[in-house]
Structure 1
Amino acid sequence: MKKWFYMGLLLTSYSLQAQDFKTVHRDLIVVDGHNDVIIESILPGHDISSRLTTGHTDIPRLIEGGVDVQVFAVWSDDKKWQTGAFKHANDQLDALEKVLDKNPNQIVLAKHTGDINRILSEGKIAAVIGIEGGNMIEGSIANLEKLYERGARYLTLTWNYNLPWATAAAVEVLTKSDKGKGLSEHGKRIIRRMNELGMMIDLSHAGEKTFYDVMRISTKPVLVSHSNAAAITPHSRNLDDKQLAALKQNGGVVGVNFYSGFLDATYEDRVQKLYRTHFGERGDYSLSVTRQYGKLPPDLKHKANAPLPTLLDHIDYLVRKMGIDNVAIGSDFDGIESPPQGLEDVSKFPNLTKALLERGYSQEDIAKIMGLNFLRIWKENEN
């Protein structure tokens, strides 16, 4: 049985001398704060009850990877779903529920932190729901409440496009003027209602102005579910030092994203170089990096992916800037095409524990990064 070193309980320090990393990993509560398997596999009809040959996630691989709590992201492309996004969100939840109904002995929905102990004591995976993109509430607080009732425990305010009530990082960086950036008055009402519900506010993808507007309004710690350190990899999806300081002061948590492009500033150049080397003059260099990556043979894809130590560098930096209590995991598996070498899918999570041990992190600190910090912020958001 997993040991739950939970909020409010004393964390026991362990001697790690000669201790096997698999044993250490088995005793952790592993929480992955962001995974896109619903849109990637479940909704298209792939049965994740069995091991798949595509994608990053299925139940057998979750078990193999020792994942105890998996957040399932409900996502939609804003441009495609300018109407009907709320229904699309519910369709995804329906699809997830079918998976849970089919596999009751392996995975169960958790709506409260108090559910976690019970689910894990039964030897099952706890499924948690996150909504990635405020477009899916269609500007309606009533829709927000309905998604919360169905089990959604965080809302990522924006994806890569502005909403009428909040602006996105991908758009904010393109305009110099602050006019129209951040939260509208209605956006502020949505934030306040989320606080009242006990629903975590997720600022991954949110614009800088939106980020600071939320920090001024929220009465609860804020989540950044799947982002990294901009000081290492400058990107609008990553947080700069000023944002990290604000998040620390708020008591919030950032979940480290596994996407090579957010981890390694040289990733895109490396893909371009490998693409040219393989395809030569036949290659269309104008293709997006994502499409170029998809055309590379498996051996070259592996070479393009960020080395695992690069992910550790981001964790180290975030811990130095924010402290050990404010860093978590938000893999973005099945929402990314290029995870780090050694973390190719959810079955490989023990490799991250091994790498953290080799970096000198104590088991107590690893327990926080791998799960307890996410559970702590969820608990502090609950009413």
Structure 2
Amino acid sequence: MKHLLFLLLSFSTFAQDIHFKSILVDTHNDCLTACIEKNVSLDQDLTGINHSDLARFKKGGVDYQLFSVWCDGEKANPYVWAMREMDSLYAVAARNSDKLVIAKTWKDIQRALKEQKLVAQFGVEGGHMIENDLQKLETFYNRGVQYMTLTWNNSPSWASSHADEKNPSFKGHKGLNDFGKKVVKKMNQMGMLVDVSHVGEATFWDVINTTTKPIIASHSNAYSVCPVSRNLKDEQIIAIGKNGGVIHLNFYSAFVDIDFWQKDEAFRKKHSSEIDSLVGAGMQMEYAFNLIGDKYAAESDAIKPDLEQLMKHFDHIVKLIGVDHVGLGSDFDGINSAPKQLKTVLDYPVFTQALIARGYSNKDISKVLGGNFLRVYQANH
């Protein structure tokens, strides 16, 4: 027993060493929206309130975070809302210049990493936030936006989402229209990464045929493992590999395990009156779900999948296109459920342990944790 304990401790120490020596990039965290919805600040101790805060990013080994800028399709003046979310991070950065840098160039990134400060950039989650205006897209880029998810679940007039494409009552244009193709070309020109998470299949293939740069899926999994429209089908995964892009794994239980949907629906139905009350008080629906999940944590935890189910997505993508095309896009603070072992940003080392257990080399683990994203970032600039 003593020998077994020693081996387990040695394995854990080895994993921690690899984890903290690698540059860890997470391409999708919704903590800016969560902080606004909950009226808290990222530089507070948000243990028990959010999945993330500034101090816990450091403790979890996160070196480079792309902060999601999000609002649903019902929000009035989405561009103004997006700017407010960015302002909130700029305020945190001004108060914590010794810990956090909003990086706009490769030199900024290198300098921040050397000084052991958190590299912070934005990812706009939903093309509706540019309000059909390329100048607003350019303003986003100048403020530190490094990717834009072309659609959220709703569709701007120029691109169709996964949700709308499967909706028989959707009357809009499927795929990218001419303006949508201009958006992609403008992003290529500026160096803003095109993100295909949330987009419909018609939009996806139009992107593949339009872009001249490698793309990303900032927070998506494999449809073959969990068949929901938010995940990528095998032919899409292969196309991203051929494009030189990277697929970043989403931790959301409903995109990890198909059996979770029914369990979560029952959970939400049980607590529907409280959810409705929060929405009625002005909270966006997604965050009402999250708050109820936190309130009834034991009940919520009982229906979560195991980490091994997420690793099935990783294995499937690697089998199709190789280890050079996978990364992490947790969706922390934008989800109400993740695999049991991945409760907060403190738990990233557990994912690294899972990679070691699969026999991946230090070099390959470093690629997955952040190196693959850094390659695609440079290829877009």
- When the two structures are superposed, what TM-score results if normalisation uses the length of structure 1? 0.88
State how far apart, in whole Å, the 2-side matches of 1:193 and 1:273 are.
44
Look up the match of 1:35.
29
Question: Using the alignment, how far apart are the partners of 1:308 and 1:123 within structure 2?
Answer: 29
CA contact (8 A) 2:158 2:173 kept: no
- Does residue 1:137 correspond to 2:93, yes or no? no
Aligned to 1:77: 72
**Structure 2 CA distance, aligned partners of 1:136 and 1:314?**
30
Amino acid at match of 1:360: G
Matches within 5 A, 1:118-133: 118-133=111-126
Counterpart in the other structure of 1:346: 345
Instruction: Give the Cα separation in 2 of the matches to 1:98 and 1:22.
Output: 32
Find the partner of 1:63 among 34, 51, 58.
58
Q: Which residues of structure 1 form unaligned runs of 5+? A: 1-15
Runs of 4+ in 1 over 4 A off after TM superposition: 16-19, 176-179, 272-276, 286-293
Match of 2:321 in 1: 322
Say whether the 8 Å CA contact 2:159–2:173 is kept in structure 1: no
- How far apart in 2 are the matches of 1:157 and 1:239? 15
Structure 2 distance, partners of 1:270, 1:76, is: 26
d(CA) in 2 for partners of 1:179, 1:230: 25
What is the deviation of 1:46?
0.8
- Paired residue type of 2:53: D
Q: How does 1:249-268 map to 2 (within 5 A)?
A: 249-268=242-261
- TM-score normalised by length of structure 2: 0.88
Q: Alignment partner of 1:335: what SS?
A: coil
**Counterpart residue number, 1:24:** 18
Contact between 1:43 and 1:92, CA under 8 Å: does it hold in 2?
no
For 1:30 and 1:264, how far apart are their aligned partners in 2?
Answer: 25
Alpha carbons 2:60, 2:348 under 8 Å: kept: yes
Paired amino acid for 2:369: M
- Residues 233-312 of structure 1: matches in 2 within 5 Å? 233-271=226-264, 291=289, 294=292, 297-312=296-311
Moved more, 106-115 or 308-317: 106-115
Deviations 1:229-264 (A, max 9, x none): 000000111000010111111111111000000000
**CA distance, structure 2, for counterparts of residue 128 and residue 303 of structure 1:** 34
Deviations 1:348-376 (A, max 9, x none): 11111111111222211111111011111
Amino acid at match of 2:185: R
Higher helix share: 2
How far apart, in 2, do the equivalents of 1:140 and 1:175 lie?
Answer: 28
Gaps of 5+ in 2: 1-9, 277-284
Letter in 1 for 2:68: A
* Partner residue, 1:221: 214
Matches within 5 A, 1:90-109: 90-109=83-102
Q: Tell which deviates more after alignment, 295-304 or 237-246.
A: 295-304
Q: Deviations over 1:117-152 (max 9, x none)?
A: 211111211101111111110000111011111111
8 Å Cα contact 2:268-2:289 kept in structure 1: no
SS of aligned partner of 1:304 = coil
Q: Tell me the residue number matched to 1:199.
A: 192
Q: Deviations over 1:197-216 (max 9, x none)?
A: 01100010111000000100
Q: Provide, for residues 321-370 of structure 1, a one-character-per-residue CA deviation record: whole Å limited to 9, x for no partner.
A: 11111111000001100011111011111111111111222211111111
What corresponds to 1:12 in structure 2?
none
Cα pair 1:220 1:381 within 8 Å, conserved: yes
Partner of 2:7: none
Q: Deviations over 1:243-295 (max 9, x none)?
A: 0111111111111000000000111233456789xx7xx998x9999859936
Distance 1:151 1:272, change over 3 A: closer
Give the counterpart of 2:39 among 31, 41, 45: 45
Indicate conservation of the 8 Å contact 1:258/1:339, yes or no.
yes
| Paired amino acid for 1:261 | A
Deviates more, 1:352-361 or 1:367-376: 352-361
> What CA RMSD, in Å, does the superposition of the two structures yield over aligned residues?
2.5
* 166 and 179 in structure 1: CA distance in 2 versus 1, 3 angstrom threshold: closer
